[in-house]
Amino acid sequence: MLLTDNVAIITGAASGIGRACTQRFLDEGATVLACDIDRRGLEALAEECDHSGLHTVLCDVRKRGDAESSVRKALSIGGRLDCLVNSAGITPRTLPPEADFEARWDAVMEVNAKGVFLMSYAALAEMRPAGRGSIVNLVSIMSMVGYPTSLPFSDGFTAYPHSKGAVAQMTREMGVRFGVEGVRINAVAPGFVYSPLTENVVGDADVHAEMKRLHPMGRMGQPEEIAAVVAFLASDDASFVTASVWPVDGGYTAQ
């Protein structure tokens, strides 16, 4: 197993890609502290997984205190911290319709960019002295390209691609800086994936068809396909990989 005896923190663990990562890490032998703001989602995760290596904690990644307390809890569980997966994220589509353009920007940037910054800062405070560790950030192909005009997702000011671009650059900067200290930092950039972040748009048959058509493989991805790459990057099998952003996108960004 790739992650035997590893202790990992996974944010956004109650649903979507974060949930798939949690299950994959458990299957690969890790002890996982699943973090999320969704109490009911965490309770459902614990019931469905029923795994001795799974622990849960309520965590708002926008709050420094929550980030620090999550790291402390992981240390109390496993005595070490080997991996952080920053999967928590939102899109403007999930926000209340009354939120104006500034409120939407602030909300998305706070979760997607500041949340990664705070969680990584807290994790690195433990990983750097230990001289080992791995951080895997979930970004998006929209950190690399703009939204296609064939999809109704952007008015040119949407914060989602900007927030993911910021995290892709954090990955490179931190990966270069902390590689010499034994900490690897990478990112996975999924294409369009079936998850709570896309479920409110795939209900439109035309939009769904276009989202599939944009990928050379002719389909959208599954959370488990992303989790498999995250687990690899977190593991020692990726020991010479750092400061990189990996598209897992059915060929989308190669076009």
By C-alpha distance, which of 194, 146, 136, 195 is closest to 168?
136
- Give the burial class of 239: count Cβ atoms within 10 A of its Cβ; 0-12 exposed, 13-18 middle, 19 or more buried: exposed
The residue ranges of DSSP E strands in 38-181, in sequence order, are 54-58, 83-86, 133-138
| Total residue length of the chain | 255
CB-CB contact of 230 with 24 (8 Å): yes
Among the options 121, 147, 160, 194, which is catalytic?
160
Active site residue 194: no
d(CA 197, CA 175): 27
Would you state the torsion angle of the CA atoms of residues 202, 159, 175, 240, taken in this order, to the nearest 10 degrees? 20
Count of CA atoms in the C-beta half-sphere (13 A) of 117: 15
Report the catalytic residues: 160
